[in-house]
Structure 1
C-alpha cells in the first residue's frame, strides 16, 4: 500500500521506543479504553449540560476534531489550531476532541477510532432532533484513496472510509456541515460525500499526496496555510480556500513537490456565506 509521502521517521522512532518499553497506551488495554471512554463521556456530557441551559430554538455550533495517527503530533496540532480559530469567531462553540498520541500512562484525549466517532455522531444525531445545530468536522491523519488511517501506538486500527463518514452524516441530513479532511488522497472522499448541506474541503486531490506531516512540523501544509496568515472569516469558504491553495502551490514548487491540489465543494446555498456567519450558526441568505 502506498502511503502519503511524509518525513515522519522521528515519530516512528519515538513510537518504537515506547512500544519496546511496553508503555504506549492503546485500546487493547482495558484501563486505557476505560480512560478514553470516560474522557469522551465527559466532553459529551459537557455539551449536554450546555444545551440544557439554552433555548431549544438557539442554534448550537459543534466542532469535532479527530487527530487519528500517533506517528506525528502534527495532526493534533491541526485539530487544536482549528479549535482556536473557531473559538475566536464563536466563543460559545462546543467542542469534541479525539486524538491518538503516544501517552505512556495517562490519556489527554479520547482515542480517535471508528467506535469513538460512532458514539460522537450518534449523540450529535440525538441533539439535532431536538434543536438546530451547525457542525464543523476536521479529520487530520495519513491517508490513501478512500482511507483515513487510524494509528495508535504504531499499530493500525480499522480506518475511516467514506462509507463511515456517509453513515455519520446521513443521520443528520438537515444539519449544515463543514467537513475538512487533512490527509493524502483525501479528494477521493468528495464524490461519495457530496450533499446539499455539506461543505467539503480536502488537503489533496483524489490521486495526490499532501505534505507537512512530519513529527516536528507545526501544522500540515493544508491546515497551516488555511488557518495561518491570510485566514479571514469575513470571507467565504471558497475565498479562503483559493488563497490557501495558492500559498501551498508556491511552497510545493519551492520544495520540488508534486502539487497536492487541495479540493473544495460548496453547495450553491453556502457559496456567498462568510465563514464567520456559518460558525456563528447563521443560515445562508
Structure 2
C-alpha cells in the first residue's frame, strides 16, 4: 500500500511529460478523466473511451490525463485521488494556456446525496471527493474555461459549488435522483453511453450532446419503469461564445469512435 502511494508522483510525472504544450493563438481542449470506484470496471471503461473519443474527434491527442482506480491499471495509470486531481490540474497549467485553452473535466463514480463522489481502490485509505474539493483545485490551478461533466448518482448536487461565469456543467442526475447503469456486469453507465458514445459521436456541441443524451436516457428510463434521473445542464454567461470559437477550429470530417467493450464484460440491460 505504502509503495503504491509513494509511486504516484513518479507515475504522474511520466504521464504529464507526454502532454503536448499549447499552440499560441489556437484554443485547445485539455482533459482529465477521473474514474473513482475501483470495484467496478464501468467507470474505467468510460475514462478509457473518453480518451479515444477526445483524441479522434476533438483534436485532443496527447492532451488528456487519465486518473483511474482499477485493479487492472494501478501499476500503469495514476490513481483517481483528491491529491492526484489537484496535481493533474496543476500539471496541465504548465502545458496549457490558462486564459485561452479549455479544460474538460470528466468525473465518473458512485455518488451520494451529501454530495460526494466515491473514491475507492481496495483497502487504500483514500479521501472522498466533495464539490468544494473540486472547486478549490480548479481555482488553485487558475484555469479560466471549464467544462465539467459528472456521471454519478445525485451529481446535480455538485452544480452550486462549481458554477461560475466561465464554466459549463453537465451532470447525469439532479441532486436528489439516482442515475443508472453501474454494476459489475455493466459496460457503461446509461449516461456514459448516451452522452459519450452516442451523442458526442454525432456533435462537438456539448449542449446539443446533453439534449440528445437527456432524451435518450428518458426513453430508457420509461422503458424500464425507472424514476427519471433528470440529467442537469448549467452554463455560465461567458463560456458559450468561447466554445463556439473553439468548435470552429475542429476538423469537419472527424471519424466516429465505436465503443469496444472489454472481452470479459457481459452485456445486460444496464447498458442499453
Give the structure-2-normalised TM-score. Answer: 0.81
Which of 35, 41, 44 is the aligned partner of 1:67?
A: 35
Contact 1:56 1:131 in 2 (8 A): no
Equivalent residues in 2 for 1:51-130 (5 A)?
A: 51=21, 55-93=23-61, 94-103=63-72, 107-127=75-95
Establish whether residue 223 from structure 1 lines up as the match of residue 192 from structure 2: yes
Partner of 1:144: 112
Establish whether residue 38 from structure 1 lines up as the match of residue 6 from structure 2: no
Residues 228-237 or 173-182, more deviating: 228-237
Q: List per-residue Cα deviations over 1:234-267 (Å, max 9, x = no partner).
A: 4632221111111111111222211111001112
The 2-side partners of 1:204 and 1:87 are apart by 27
Partner of 2:212: 243
Structure 1 residue matching 2:233: 3-state secondary structure:
strand
Partner of 2:247: 277
Residues 64-73 or 89-98, more deviating: 89-98
For structure 2, the residue ranges without an aligned partner over 5 or more in a row are 251-272
Partner of 2:176: 207
1:33 CA displacement? 2.1
Q: Let me know the Cα RMSD of the aligned residues.
A: 2.7
Distance verdict in 2 for CA 1:194–1:130, change over 3 Å: closer
Structure 1 residue matching 2:198: 3-state secondary structure:
coil
Partner of 1:187: 156
The 1-side partners of 2:180 and 2:16 are apart by 32
The 1-side partners of 2:248 and 2:182 are apart by 28
Structure 2 residue matching 1:159: 3-state secondary structure:
coil
Structure 2 residue matching 1:82: 3-state secondary structure:
helix
Figure out how many residues of one structure are paired with residues of the other and give that number: 248
1:35 CA displacement? 3.5
The 1-side partners of 2:218 and 2:28 are apart by 35
The 1-side partners of 2:183 and 2:162 are apart by 28
Partner of 1:177: 146
1:196 CA displacement? 1.0
1:100 CA displacement? 0.5
Establish whether residue 160 from structure 1 lines up as the match of residue 129 from structure 2: yes
1:169 CA displacement? 1.7
Distance verdict in 2 for CA 1:92–1:190, change over 3 Å: closer
The 1-side partners of 2:177 and 2:80 are apart by 24
Question: Is the radius of gyration larger for structure 1 or structure 2?
Answer: 1
Contact 1:89 1:279 in 2 (8 A): no
Partner of 2:222: 253
For structure 1, the residue ranges without an aligned partner over 5 or more in a row are 1-28, 281-285
The 2-side partners of 1:252 and 1:144 are apart by 20
